[in-house]
Structure 1
C-alpha cells in the first residue's frame, strides 16, 4: 500500500468533514493506480456508509474493467446510494458489458 493511499484513507476516516474531503481529493486523480486497494477497502468497510459510497465512487472513477464485478454487485444492492454510484461507475466505464448490465437493470426495474 502506498503512502498516498494510506494517508488518503486515514483522512477519509476522520470525523472532520474537510479532512474527509481532502482524503477523497487526494485519491481522485489516482484511482486507476489504487484500484485494487480501493476494492479491498470497499469490501472490508462495513460501518461507515458514507465512506463506502465514496470508495465506490472512486472505484467507478478508475474506469477500469477490473471494477466491473464490484459495480455489478452493487448495482443489485438494496441500498439506493450504493446502487446509484454503481450506475455512475458503469456509465463511466462505458464498455459493452457495462452497458449490457445497465440495460438489464433497467429492464428488470432496478434503475430508471
Structure 2
C-alpha cells in the first residue's frame, strides 16, 4: 500500500505533465484509503503550489470527516486556488460541520 502511494507521489512530482497526471489519477480513486498520508504530504509541501492544490483536491475527494480540519483551515488561505478546493471538498463532504465551516467563511467574507 505505502509503496503504491509513494510511487504515485513520485509521479505527481514529475516534470512530465502526463506522468504527473497519471500519478494523480492513481490516487484519485483511493483518496480515502490514503487520506492520512495525503494530509501529511499536504502539510509538509510548501514549495509547489500546484502539488498542494492537487493534494487538497484529493483530500476533499476522500469525503471523510478526518479531512474536515484541513479543509476548513484552507478556507482562510491566502491562495485562492486552495480556498476553492477547500470549498469543493467541504461541499462534497456535506456534513453539518462542513456546512457550518462554509457558512462561517461566507459570513466572514473569506469566501463568496
Shorter-chain TM range is over 0.9
Which residue of structure 2 lines up, in the alignment, with residue 42 of structure 1? Answer: 42
1:3, distance to aligned residue in structure 2 (A)? 1.5
Which residue of structure 1 lines up, in the alignment, with residue 51 of structure 2? Answer: 51
Which residue of structure 2 lines up, in the alignment, with residue 64 of structure 1? Answer: 64
Distance 2:90 2:69 in 1: 10
Q: Which runs of 5+ in 1 are unaligned?
A: none
Number of residue pairs the alignment of both structures matches? 112
Length-normalised TM-score, structure 2: 0.98
Structure 1, residues 48-75: CA drift from partner, whole Å, max 9, x if none?
A: 1000000000000000000000001111
Which residue of structure 2 lines up, in the alignment, with residue 110 of structure 1? Answer: 110
Structural RMSD (CA): 0.8
4+ residue stretches of structure 1 with deviation over 4 A?
A: none
Length-normalised TM-score, structure 1: 0.98
Structure 1, residues 27-61: CA drift from partner, whole Å, max 9, x if none?
A: 00000000000000000101110000000000000
Which residue of structure 1 lines up, in the alignment, with residue 19 of structure 2? Answer: 19
